[in-house]
Structures are given as structure tokens and as C-alpha cells.
């Protein structure tokens, strides 16, 4: 039997300083809460958004508003850190990353300054959140494309903007380990979803967008949802609890230092299938229309989990139906709050 994967409590004391950037957003906000619930008392949560716009705030965390595209702010964020988790980025769903490539590329400034600041601060470990958008798009043209393994990022032909930003920053992590001895970790996220995420406003991803559209269809009486593309594009979607658990194990696995690894579900579904799952959570069906001119991304993308199962003996396992049921209920609560005139963070 293989040994239990190590986690943060195997290396850190409760009063060691943990820095999490992008903490006003979805994944990093959940990661702050995850570390807090494990008993860590010193967590510096950093985001450029005003505190009132953070998706969730964890009691006891040091919440700091800083724009990390500036070098001095990165030095301030990393001061005294034992571990740094770099999740700050300008990003969103396909509607955002296809339309705002310059903004996505500019996240290279954050990544470059943050890894240098972490090294200068003497941090022991540095985690970087990469993306499946770093993979060669030529391998993802067909909806039945094979699952992507880690080596499929090369020869390099990443998604324009966001994908190239991630791929370059992965290399930075590898070189800071090779040349400067900073213990880095790199996880390629595959479509993370769940409560306390973006569900409206243009940056939301497909699971949340479809939940909102179903709720709007009921609310406006049309009972009709417009689907981007023809509904046949395929993806895998990872529930947020699996994501933060995976981050912890990857960041504390010595076999994965400076080694990109997939962090995603291998449960592949089409957009049409995903909408059916949302209908099941909602308890009613909608009529579907299709917009072939809307942003759609690659034809198919799935996570090959051979490596993570071999190294960690684990993979994300929350069934999509179970995760989407929880996600739909949370978005329904937010939707109803907004209808009642109460402010919600989107």
C-alpha cells in the first residue's frame, strides 16, 4: 500500500504564515477557508478588489487589498511567508479569455513579480495555478479528443493570451527551482466549479452560466436557454472541494517539485449533457436555442489522470451531478437575493 500523500500539516506549524493571492476570487477564497479550517492561524489573503467585492472572507485571515502587477506590492504580500499560493490572475470563462487576451497576458506581470518576491522573502514553497489552456490546441479540435496528458503541452501551441501566459509562467517556476532552489509546484486546473464562484457578469464559466440561464428562463417565463455553440463541445469539470484538496497534496509532494500536473476530473460531458444535469438539479426542463457565433473554445478537453493517480494515489472524484446540485442551489439563493433587491457578489 502506498504512503498517504503529505499535506500542509505535515510541514507547517499553525502559526507559520501562509500567503494566498487572488483570495477575493473563487478558488483562492476557498483555499483560504480550507487552510483556516485546518487550524492555520496566520493566513494573508491578497486581492486587488475592494473587500466588499470579495466572494468570501474567512474570519481571522489578514485580508489585504493590493494590485500584484506591481513589484513592490508583491514584496509586501510575500513578506515573512513560509508558503505562497499564487492564484491571482485576470481571467474568466471562455467569453472573457477569448475577448480580452491582453488582460490575460498581463497576468505575466503578477506571476513574474510574485515568484521573485517569494524567493526574496525566503518562502519554503511556492504554488502556481496553471491551466489546461496551456495545452496544444491542435490536440483539442475534435469533441472526441483524447484526454490530455502532461506532455501534451509540447510542442507548444497554447490558447492565445491566457494559455501562453500560463505556459511561460510554468517555465519560470521550473527555472526558479533549477537555478535558485525555490521549491515550486504547478497544477494545471481543468474547469473548476462550485458555490461561492462567479455566476454572472461575463467572467463566469459554463456550469455557473447555465445555472443562471435556467433560473432566468423560469423567472422571465420564456423557459428558454440560449447555448453558446451547438452544445456538442466537451469538457470535464472539477468540484471546488476536490480542487483545494488537490492543491494541498500537489504543493507538498516532493516528487512533483517544478513538475506540471493535471488537476481535474476525468468525467467528460458535452455542454448539452451539462445543461441536462442543471435541469435535473432545477427540477424542470427548458427549451434550447443555439448561438454558433458565440465564444466556444476548443472542440474537446479532458484530463488524463494517469500521473496524479500514480504519484498521489488520488484523483478528483466528486460526481458532476452531485457537485452541480450543490452549485445550483447556491446560485439559486444568490439569484433570489438579487431579485429581492439585496446585493450579491458576482
Rounded Cα distance between 253 and 312, Å, is 8
Residues 143 and 77 in one domain: yes
Q: Within a domain: residue 311?
A: no
Domain match, 37 and 161 both: yes
Residues 151 and 211 in one domain: no
Residue 82: CATH number of its domain = 3.40.50.720
Together in a domain, 168 and 280: no
| Residue 219: other Cβ atoms inside 10 A | 11
Whether residues 296 and 163 fall in one domain: no
- Check residue 105 and give its pLDDT: 86
Domain contains 50 = yes
Query: Is residue 314 assigned to a domain?
Result: no
97 within some domain: yes
Whether residue 171 sits in one domain with residue 248: yes
DSSP assignments along 130-193, one per residue:
EEGGGS-GGGGSSTTPPPBPGGGG-S--PPTTHHHHHHHHHHHHHHHHHHH--EEEEEEE--EE
Question: How many domains are contained in the chain?
Answer: 2
* 125 domain-assigned: yes
Straight-line distance from the first to the last Cα atom of the chain, in angstroms, rounded to the nearest whole number: 44
Q: Which residues of the chain have pLDDT under 70?
A: 1-2, 91-95, 97, 345-346
Judge whether 71 lies within some domain: yes
Domain that holds residue 97: 8-193+239-263
Same domain flag for 258 and 272: no
Strands 234-236 and 268-270: antiparallel
Residue 59 lies in a domain: yes
CB count within 10 Å of CB 181 equals 8
Looking at the structure, do residues 66 and 94 belong to the same domain, yes or no? yes
Residue 313 within any structural domain of the chain: no
Do 169 and 44 share a domain, yes or no? Answer: yes
pLDDT of residue 5: 96
- What pLDDT does 141 receive? 87
pLDDT given at position 202: 80
Name the residues annotated as catalytic.
162
**Positive or negative torsion for Cα 155, 160, 161, 166:** negative
SS3 percent helix, strand, coil of the chain, rounded to 5, is: 45, 15, 40
Number of CB atoms found within 10 A of residue 200's CB:
18
Q: Are residues 73 and 143 in the same domain?
A: yes
Same domain, 247 and 228: no
CA neighbor of 190 nearest in space, from 120, 261, 111: 261
| Same-domain check for residues 213 and 151 | no
Q: What pLDDT score does 322 carry?
A: 98
Q: What is the pLDDT of residue 1?
A: 40
Distance from C-alpha of 323 to C-alpha of 342, rounded to nearest angstrom: 26
122's CB contacts (< 8 A; 6+ apart) are none
CATH number of residue 289's parent domain: 3.90.25.10
Helices (H) and strands (E) in the chain, counts: 11, 13
10 Å Cβ neighbour count for 160? 15
Amino acid at each position: 500500500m502506498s504512503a498517504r500523500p503529505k499535506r500542509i500539516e505535515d510541514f507547517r506549524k499553525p502559526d507559520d504564515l501562509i500567503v494566498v493571492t487572488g483570495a477575493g476570487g473563487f478558488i483562492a477564497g476557498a483555499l483560504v477557508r480550507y487552510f483556516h479550517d485546518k487550524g492555520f492561524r496566520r493566513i494573508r489573503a491578497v486581492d486587488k478588489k475592494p473587500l466588499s467585492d470579495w466572494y468570501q472572507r474567512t474570519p481571522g485571515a489578514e485580508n489585504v487589498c493590493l494590485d500584484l502587477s506591481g513589484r513592490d506590492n508583491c514584496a509586501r504580500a510575500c513578506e515573512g511567508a513560509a508558503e505562497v499560493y499564487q492564484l491571482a490572475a485576470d481571467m474568466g470563462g471562455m467569453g472573457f479569455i477569448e475577448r480580452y487576451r491582453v488582460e490575460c497576458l498581463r497576468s505575466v506581470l503578477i506571476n513574474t513579480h510574485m515568484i521573485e518576491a517569494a524567493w526574496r522573502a525566503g518562502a519554503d514553497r511556492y504554488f502556481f495555478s496553471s491551466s489546461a489552456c496551456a495545452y496544444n490546441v491542435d490536440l483539442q479540435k475534435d469533441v472526441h479528443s483524447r484526454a490530455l496528458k502532461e506532455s501534451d503541452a509540447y510542442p507548444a501551441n497554447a490558447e492565445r493570451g491566457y494559455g501562453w501566459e500560463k505556459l511561460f509562467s510554468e517555465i519560470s517556476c521550473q527555472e526558479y527551482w533549477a537555478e535558485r532552489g525555490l521549491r515550486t509546484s504547478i497544477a494545471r486546473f481543468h474547469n473548476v466549479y462550485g458555490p461561492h464562484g462567479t455566476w454572472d457578469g461575463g467572467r463566469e464559466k459554463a456550469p455557473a452560466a447555465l445555472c443562471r440561464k435556467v433560473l432566468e428562463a423560469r423567472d422571465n417565463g420564456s423557459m428558454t436557454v440560449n447555448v453558446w455553440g451547438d452544445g456538442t463541445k466537451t469538457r470535464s469539470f472539477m468540484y471546488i472541494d476536490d480542487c483545494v484538496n488537490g492543491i494541498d497534496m500537489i504543493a507538498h509532494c516532493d516528487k512533483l517539485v517544478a513538475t506540471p500536473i493535471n488537476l481535474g476530473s476525468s468525467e467528460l460531458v458535452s455542454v448539452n449533457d451539462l445543461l441536462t444535469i442543471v435541469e435535473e438539479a432545477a427540477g424542470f426542463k427548458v427549451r434550447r436555442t443555439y448561438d454558433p457565433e458565440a465564444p466556444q473554445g476548443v472542440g474537446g478537453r479532458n484530463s488524463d489522470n494517469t500521473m496524479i493517480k500514480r504519484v498521489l494515489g488520488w484523483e478528483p472524484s466528486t460526481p458532476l451531478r452531485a457537485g452541480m446540485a450543490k452549485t445550483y442551489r447556491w446560485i439559486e439563493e444568490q439569484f433570489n437575493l438579487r431579485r429581492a433587491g439585496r446585493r450579491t457578489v458576482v
